[in-house]
Structures are given as structure tokens and as C-alpha cells.
A and B are shown apart, each in its own frame.
Chain A
Amino acid sequence: MAYDRNAAVKYAEKYWNIACDDGIFWLTNERISVATKRKELKAPEADGWKAMFVKGDGTEPEKAVFRRTVGGKTEEKIINGWAGLADCAHYLSRCLSAGGAAIDERGVASLVNTLQARSDTKTLCEKVPRDRAQKVVDSGILKPGDMVGYFNVSTDGDFGGKIAYTHSTMYVGKLDKAGVGGVTCHTVARFPPHSWVNDSWWLHDGYSYTLIHFSSDDAMPNGAIVPTITGWWQLEYGGGPAFSYISKNGTAQFVKKAPGKASDLPHGAIDQAYWFMESYGKMTIIWRKSGAVEVWMPMGGPATFTAMLNGTIPGKLTKLF
């Protein structure tokens, strides 16, 4: 079944600040059952109590509460304060499952691994810096419903500077054309523009970013153009030449050593990529390790393109074989 990204985003819009439909949320090392907490705290649903994530007390970013409004007055019972809340991977699993990608993970690293192992996903970039991640987002290949993994690289960062995946979100698109994009997540709860935090993207220094794209609804490459692009290319972007091998299966390999003949295989690739083609032949190539984005625009002739690297560096392309 193809991934239904609209269903995933609709789910997120409904559950972004409340406990998920399975009636649980996660602390760092503990599963919290909303039903059990209702009994403990005497907060039955029939009396209007709703399990919610809301702005925390004082400087705390968030807390989990039962909340209801009676006669215009808001009443609250605290389920858990900020310390320990950690529901991002669980929430993302529920969102993706709502889109048809059945996933049940509560750790970010395992969520990334599970997604990367799926045949219907493509890891566009892996642990790349913020500016490179933004270029990938700006390429338009990342779509609402895709996943963003946050790998802490700062010793001042999450959980005492743990160098590891520490957060996960789902991309929900740009609020405006010039915007950087927005994400939905739990801990802290977001669904732009609805949230008490004014940072709808959570794209910060101190992390590197892994962007995982569901590919089942990607446009099919133009069958007339594909044969003209597969094979070896020489690339020049201001520096010395480099070489790419474009495969017809949608991947590319990047090497420094010039191939000798058409049948040479790209051994010792420095980086690998997925390429995406629009119907008129525009190619977007996203390199996984570096997060570099190449755009090839067709010039009309066979295998003739203008090229741009990361939106700013013009390049020269030569088809070798």
C-alpha cells in the first residue's frame, strides 16, 4: 500500500497536543497509560478531562496534564512535568502508521533504522549540518509526511551532550514560499502554526540532520530522457573535475577518479545519491553524506544540461560514456 502522506499529516493535526489514539505516551524509561492515570488522578473522560500536552510551569517547556474547562474556568491535573517527557518517536510512529507505514518505535535511533530499512523510503541526507539540511528542504523533494531525525553533535546539547539521535519530527511543509518549513512533533508539541513555541521548524545548530523521504508517490522519470542521463558524467563546479555514475535505478555514485571506459563501475564512491526527475527532465540529485543538492536543467539537446550546486555554484557537465 502506498504511503498516504495526507493521512499522516491529518493525524498529526488532530493529535499534535494530545495523547495519541493508542492511549499512551512515553517518558524516558516509562510507558504512561492515560486510562490508568485517569483512575489514579480521578479524571474521567465523561467529566470532560482531556489528556493534553501544554506549556509548562515557569521556564519548563511542557507538561502533560488532564485539563477541562468548566464555566469558563480551566482546571488542570498534572500527569507529568517536563522532566522525563519523551514522546517524539512514539508520536511519529503513530503519525506514520496513520499514513499506512506501520511502525512502532519509541527510540529515535531505532525509528531511523526502521525507516531506512523500508523499501519505500529514501534517505536523502544523513547527519548533515543545518545549512545543508535546509538546502535539501528547499529542493522540494522532502514532502509533508516525511521524517526528520535530529542527531545531537553538541556537548552542550540534549541529555547532557549525548552524541546520538535525540529527537524526531515529521515535516509538514512550508507555511509560506519563503519560509524555512515546519515540523510536527511531541515533546515539545508542535503543529505549525499551532503551538506555544514560536519555532515551527526546530532547525538549529548543534544538531546534524537526517531526512528520510517516502518515495512511493514520486514522479516517474521521463522514459525518453533516462537513457540519455545514465552512465558516466564529468562534473566541474569551480574546482577540479569529479565524476558521477548515474544509474537508471534512481541512484548515483560520486568518485574522484576518472573512469576509463563505459563499463567501469564506480568503486570507492565518496558519496552516493538519489536522483529525482520531473516530467520535463529537470534532475535533482541529493548526495547523502554531504547533503549537497545538484540541479540539472535540460537545455533541449540530448544529454545537455546546465548545472547548479547548492543553488549558488554553476557547474559544467560533460557526458563521458
Chain B
Amino acid sequence: MLIWLAFIMLMPFQVISDEQPRDSLIVLQMGACERRCPVYRLVLFADGSTLFDGRHYVRIPGPFRSKVSLDSLGKLMGQAEAIRFFELKDSYQPGGDCESPKSDGPAATLTISLRGRAKTILHFRGCAGREADQLTKLEDAIVEASGVAKRIR
């Protein structure tokens, strides 16, 4: 029993490879905007499998499964760590922490889970500013690494 409990407690930190803990998870949801921005959801699991669901205004709608290398997933997690994702604010939206907001743009909801930490950030992509720009780059990198860019545009 004690061994089982210890296993469960350590599970979030168990690694599949040298780099990726089992609780690694990235969920990116891209919302609508007036200019008919693509609306989709993208999930990257700890084993590198991905699930894309193109909902509206994407080139190829519907679900699509693929795989990213653990190295790529590790790099994305490294990028998240580098911008101190888990310490950023919960929201970057007009009226809040948002410089020079544009009147239109999609809202990205990005959730990352890693080594027992999990955080969701709502990010209006029409916001400028250092942290907002870093989030935009991270979201773009997630899409790029997942190989779904051509299904979106």
C-alpha cells in the first residue's frame, strides 16, 4: 500500500523520457475574432500525441491526430519555463495588462501542466507588451511544432 501511495504521489514527476514528466500537457484554444480568425483547439499530451480540432474558419475543419517528438515537446516546455509561464498573470486582455490593444484579434486560452504545476492564461492576441508578445511566440511555436499550421491556414 505504501509503495502504491508513493507511486501515485510521484506520478506527476515520473518521466517518460529524460525530459518529459508524465503530467506534461499543453492545451491551446484559439477563439473567434471579427476578421474570421480560425477557431480551433489543440492538445499535446506527454507522450507526444496531439489532437487538433478545427472548428471554424480553418482550412481543414474537424479532428486530426498527429505526433510530435518528445524533443519538440521538451523544447516547448523549455520555452514555457523560459518565459516563466507559471508566474505570469492569469489574463492579458484590454482593460487589464495589455499595451496598445488592437480593436480585433483572437483570444487564446493556453493551459500548461508540468511537474505538478498547472496554469491557464487567457491572452487577447491584440495586446502588445513584453509578456503578451512572449505568449504569442509560445502559442505560435506550439502550433508550428504540432504540424497543424497547414490545416489552419
Is chain B found bound to chain A in the same assembly?
A: yes
Contact of B153 with A155 in the complex, beta carbons under 8 Å:
yes
Q: Which of B32, B36, B39 is most buried by chain A, counting CB atoms within 10 A of its CB?
A: B36
Give the distance to chain A from B3, nearest Cβ to Cβ, in Å: 45
Do A158 and B35 have beta carbons less than 8 Å apart?
yes
A166 CB → nearest B CB, Å: 8
A82 with B32: CB separation less than 8 A: yes
Query: With an 8 A cutoff between CB atoms, is B21 at the interface?
Result: no
Whether, in the assembled complex, A56 has its beta carbon less than 8 Å from a beta carbon of chain B, the answer is: yes
Known pairs A83-B56, A83-B57, A160-B59; A199 contacts B104 (CB<8 A)? yes
CA distance A160 to B153 in the complex (A): 5
Establish whether residues A159 and B32, one from each chain, have CB atoms under 8 Å apart when the complex forms. no
Q: Which residues of A contact B56 (CB under 8 A)?
A: 82-84
Q: Does A29 contact B (CB under 8 A)?
A: no
Max chain B C-beta neighbours (<10 A), residue from A83, A157, A206: A83
Chain B residues with Cβ under 8 A from A82's Cβ?
Answer: 32, 56
Task: Name A198's contact: one of B58, B103, B106, B152 (CB within 8 Å).
Answer: B103
Max chain B Cβ within 10 angstroms of own Cβ: one of A59, A82, A166: A59
Is A58 positioned at the interface, with any CB of B under 8 Å from its CB? yes
A60 CB to nearest chain B CB (Å) = 5
Question: What residues of chain B lie closer than 8 Å to A206, measured between beta carbons?
Answer: 35
How many chain A residues touch the partner (CB < 8 A)?
24
What chain B residues lie within 8 Å of A269 (beta carbons)? Answer: none
B93–chain A nearest beta-carbon distance, Å: 10
Residue ID in chain B nearest A82 by CB atoms = B32
Return the chain B residue nearest A58 by Cβ: B31
Q: Please, which residue of chain B has its CB at the minimum distance from the CB of A56?
A: B32
Q: Scan residues 1-42 of chain B and give those whose CB is less than 8 A from a CB of chain A.
A: 31-36, 38-39
Q: Across the two chains, which residue of chain B brings its CB closest to A150?
A: B35
Contact between B55 and A83, CB atoms less than 8 A apart: yes
Contact status A159-B36, CB under 8 Å? yes
Q: Mark A214-225, 1 if CB is under 8 A from B, else 0.
A: 000000000000
Cα-based distance from A160 to B58 in the complex (angstroms) = 6
- Cβ-based interface call for B98 (8 A): no
Residues of chain A with a CB closer than 8 A to B57's CB: 83, 159-160
Contact of A59 among B32, B35, B38, B152 (CB under 8 A): B32
CB of A83 to closest CB in B, whole Å: 4
Q: Is B142 an interface residue (CB 8 A)?
A: no
- Which residues of the other chain, B, contact A61 by a CB distance below 8 angstroms? 32-34, 104
CB of B148 within 8 Å of the partner chain: no
Q: Which residues of B contact A84 (CB under 8 A)?
A: 56
Q: Which 7 A-B pairs have the closest CB atoms?
A: A199-B103, A59-B31, A83-B56, A59-B107, A61-B34, A60-B32, A158-B36
Q: Measuring CB to CB, which residues of chain A are less than 8 angstroms from any residue of chain B?
A: 56, 58-62, 82-84, 155-161, 166, 188, 197-199, 202, 204, 206
- Beyond A83-B39, A158-B36, 19 additional pairs, beta carbon < 8 A: A56-B32, A58-B107, A59-B31, A59-B106, A61-B33, A82-B32, A83-B32, A83-B56, A83-B57, A84-B56, A156-B153, A157-B35, A160-B36, A160-B38, A160-B57, A161-B153, A166-B36, A197-B34, A199-B103
In the complex, 6 of the A-B residue pairs with CB atoms within 8 angstroms, ordered by the A residue number, are A61-B34, A62-B34, A82-B56, A83-B32, A83-B56, A160-B59
